Amino acid sequence: MPDTLRPNSLDAFWMPFTPNRAFKADPRMVVRAEGVHYYTSDGRAILDATSGLWCCAAGHGRKRIVEAIQRAAAELDYATTFNLGHPSAFEFANRLGEITPDGIDRIFFTNSGSESADTALKIALAYHRARGKPGKYRLIGRERGYHGTNFGGISVGGIVRNRMTYGPMVAGVDHLPHTLDIARNAFSRGEPEHGGAEFADALERIVALHDASTIAAVIVEPVAGSTGVIVPPKGYLKRLRELCTRHDILLIFDEVITGFGRLGAPFAAQYFDVTPDLITMAKAITNAAVPMGAVACSREIYDTILANADTPIELFHGYTTSGHPLACAAGLAALDTYRDEKLFERAAELAPYWEDAIHALRDAPHVIDIRNLGLIGGIELEPRPGAATQRALEAFRKCFDAGVLVRVTGDIIAFSPPLIVEKAQIDRIVETVRAALRQIA
């Protein structure tokens, strides 16, 4: 048998967003998870300060969710939702509509955040076409935005490494400036003071350049997660909403990270009191126990597309596993868990403690900024000269060796602990990071 096909070989699995060679030379493996901990193959407990990947909001191995999946698998393993229904898909859509902002309650199911982003962009285009405005085709994203890895998402996204390899992007895309302004806003607690209206007003320049009659939608993460926790300056999202409304442009909030209680409200839309036209979600929609995503649309969008269709099928879009029975079962059980354990409220209550805890790292070595909102945190390190990202990577490894899983992106350490995290565990996360930063050059 060739080497690469040996059962224990690590070669066959091409790992996503991972330095494959380095990882496989020095792998980190987990075999089990429960509550806020992962367990390694040699039995070590690792405190999960990242909720998996911003997704296991209720912690790991939740019995209620596991049992719901088991029951669903035994009862109805699969049914398409193309021209056929099964009850849990309708029930789950209704339940999601109960926690989304008022009127944003028509739900399209996908399987991931990437698919949700591309679905939302396509729905925005379909909406304008349905109302007789097919010339509104431009999609506006933002520098440093992350909307997954499909072609729509990387086109409106603003991460050069995710785009540059893949040739021409979707046509007709432009980008707002990102809102990170360390010079003016370093070490802000919560929403930064400076730049809100100014960064949003950049949309006026884009409108002046292309004309609003060509622009379909603006897509932003309310709090950017994947590019290192960028919290919107005060007033930014409200102003963006006003400008979109004024220019008849749809506003899409990508809530793949901020949805399901991360900021202490069901969605960031409610936290900021800003209602977009579409919301993308994934990750914690099922507590990540089964892959799933969704797009919540306004009734106006749904009704317009249905009323103006010139074929029986109103939207030519969908996935084989849209509304998969196991995902819907997991999602319903996750929503029950969030509600019964009051986890969104818990996140809101813990947020001030979290803020104090991570801002205590201000005097730790290499730290040039600390950002937070809800149960999200980001610590930006000064890049090592000539070796950007190395410092954060070393911090990641040191933390893991000390039993805490953090996430790093560039030279930023990002945190999104499960909403069930205890104060003592927050203290441990912070002290582990402090010790790691002291150990690295």
Ligand X SMILES: Cc1ncc(COP(=O)(O)O)c(C=O)c1O
Interface residues toward ligand X, by CB under 6 A: 112-114, 117, 146-148, 221, 225-226, 254, 256-257, 282
How far apart (Å, rounded) are the C-alpha atoms in residues 407 and 226?
A: 9
Smallest separation (angstroms) from ligand X to the CB of 16: 9
Q: Which residue is nearest to ligand X (CB)?
A: 113
In the bound state with ligand X, the residue whose beta carbon lies nearer, of 53 and 360, is: 53
Q: Write down the least CB distance from residue 221 to ligand X, Å.
A: 5
| Nearest approach, Cβ of residue 298 and ligand X (Å) | 20
In angstroms, what is the minimal distance from the CB of 280 to ligand X?
Answer: 7
For residues 114 and 432, which CB has a smaller minimum distance to ligand X in the complex? Answer: 114
Distance (Å, whole) CA 398 – CA 204:
45
Q: Which of 14, 13, 10 is nearest to 24 (CA)?
A: 10
CB of 288 to ligand X, least distance (A): 9
Q: Which of 160, 175, 230, 167 is nearest to 205 (CA)?
A: 175
**112 φ, ψ to 5°?**
-165, 170
Measured from the CB atom, is 157 or 233 closer to ligand X? 157
What gap in Å lies between CA 155 and CA 118, rounded to an integer?
10
C-beta separation of 57 from 261 below 8 A: yes
Q: How far is the CB of 285 from ligand X (least distance, A)?
A: 10
Distance linking the first and last C-alpha atoms of the chain: 44
- Minimum Å gap between C-beta 113 and ligand X is 2
Q: In whole angstroms, how close is the CB of 312 to ligand X at the nearest point?
A: 30
State which residue, 112 or 286, has the beta carbon closest to ligand X: 112
Work out how close the CB of 111 gets to ligand X at its nearest, in angstroms, rounded to a whole number: 8
CA–CA distance, 428 with 226 (Å, rounded to integer): 23
Q: Please, are residues 230 and 421 in contact by the beta-carbon 8 Å criterion?
A: no
Name which of 257, 280, 259 is nearest 124 in CA terms. 280
Q: How far is the CB of 365 from ligand X (least distance, A)?
A: 29
Complex with ligand X: residue 113 or 235, whichever CB lies closer:
113
State the minimum distance, in angstroms, from the CB of residue 335 to ligand X: 18
Residues 6+ apart with CB under 8 A from 168: none
* Residue with smaller CB distance to ligand X, 81 or 280: 280
Residue 257 CB contacts under 8 Å (≥ 6 apart), including other chains: 54, 221, 223, 225, 226, 283, 376, 416
Q: What is the CA radius of gyration of the chain?
A: 22
- Kindly tell me which of 92 and 394 has the beta carbon lying closer to ligand X: 92
Nearer to ligand X, 155 or 226 (CB): 226
In whole angstroms, how far apart are CA 78 and each of 84, 304, 322? 11, 31, 10
Point out which residues pair with 291 in neighbouring strands.
none
Distance, in Å, from the CA atom of 419 to the CA atom of 349, rounded to the nearest integer, reads 10
**117/125 with CB nearer ligand X:** 117
Q: Tokens for 103?
A: 């009127």
Cα separations (Å) of 69 from 98, 330, 332?
22, 6, 10
Residues 6+ apart with CB under 8 A from 116: 110, 148, 254, 256, 280, 281, 282, 293, 294, 295
- How far, in Å, CA of 149 to CA of 162, rounded? 7
Q: Which is nearer to ligand X, 275 or 286 (CB)?
A: 286
- Looking at beta carbons only, is 159 or 256 nearer to ligand X? 256
Residues sharing a CB contact under 8 Å with residue 32, sequence separation 6 or more, in sequence order: 38, 39, 61
